Amino acid sequence: MRLQSALRDVLSSGGVATHAWLAIPSTLSAEAAATTAGLTAAVVDMQHGMIDFSDALQMVSALSAHPPTPVARIPHQWPAADVSMIHKLLDAGYLGLICPLVDTAEQARAFVDACVYPPKGSRSFGPTRAGMVYGGGEYLRMADELIVKLVMIETQQGLDNLEDILAVEGVDGAFIGPNDLSLALGVPPSGAPTHPKVVAAIERIGRECSKRGKVAGIWCGETGFALDMVKRDFRFVTLGTDVAAISQHLRDSMERFNKLSSSE
Ligand code: 3PY
Ligand code: MG
> Which CA distances in Å does 182 have to 107, 154, 159, 176, 197?
22, 8, 12, 10, 8
Q: What distance in Å separates the CA atoms of residue 163 and residue 104, rounded to the nearest whole number?
A: 10
Count how many domains the chain has. Answer: 1
For residue 137, what pLDDT band results from cuts at 50, 70 and 90?
confident
C-alpha atoms less than 13 angstroms from C-alpha of 238 in its C-beta half-sphere: 24
pTM here is 0.97
219 C-alpha to center of ligand 1: Å? 6
Sign of CA dihedral 30, 19, 243, 177: positive
- The ligand minimizing its distance to the Cα of 219 is 1
Q: Which atom of ligand 1 is nearest to the CA of 21?
A: 7
- Please give the radius of gyration of the chain, using alpha carbons only, rounded to the nearest integer: 18
In a domain, 1, yes or no: no
Domain that holds residue 63: 6-263
In a domain, 27, yes or no: yes
CATH code at 235? Answer: 3.20.20.60
> Which CA distances in Å does 242 have to 3, 32, 73, 101, 236?
27, 9, 15, 22, 18
> 73 CB less than 6 Å from ligand 1?
no
Helix (H, G, I), strand (E, B) or coil at 263: coil
Going by C-beta distance under 8 Å and a sequence separation of 6 or more, which residues neighbour residue 188? 182
For residue 238, count other CB atoms closer than 10 A to its CB.
25
Instruction: Pick the residue whose CA is nearest to atom 7 on ligand 1.
Output: 177
For residue 163, what pLDDT band results from cuts at 50, 70 and 90?
very high
pLDDT at 200 over 70: yes
In a domain, 42, yes or no: yes
* C-alpha closest to that of 218 among 154, 170, 149: 154
In a domain, 112, yes or no: yes
Q: What is the pLDDT of residues 85-118, one digit of tens each?
A: 999 999 999 999 999 999 999 999 999 999 999 9
Q: What is the pLDDT of residues 13-64, one digit of tens each?
A: 999 999 999 999 999 999 999 999 999 999 999 999 999 999 999 999 999 9
> 221 CB less than 6 Å from ligand 1?
no
180 C-alpha to center of ligand 2: Å? 5
In a domain, 236, yes or no: yes
In a domain, 158, yes or no: yes
* C-alpha closest to that of 187 among 203, 174, 204, 199: 199
In a domain, 10, yes or no: yes
40 C-alpha to center of ligand 1: Å? 19
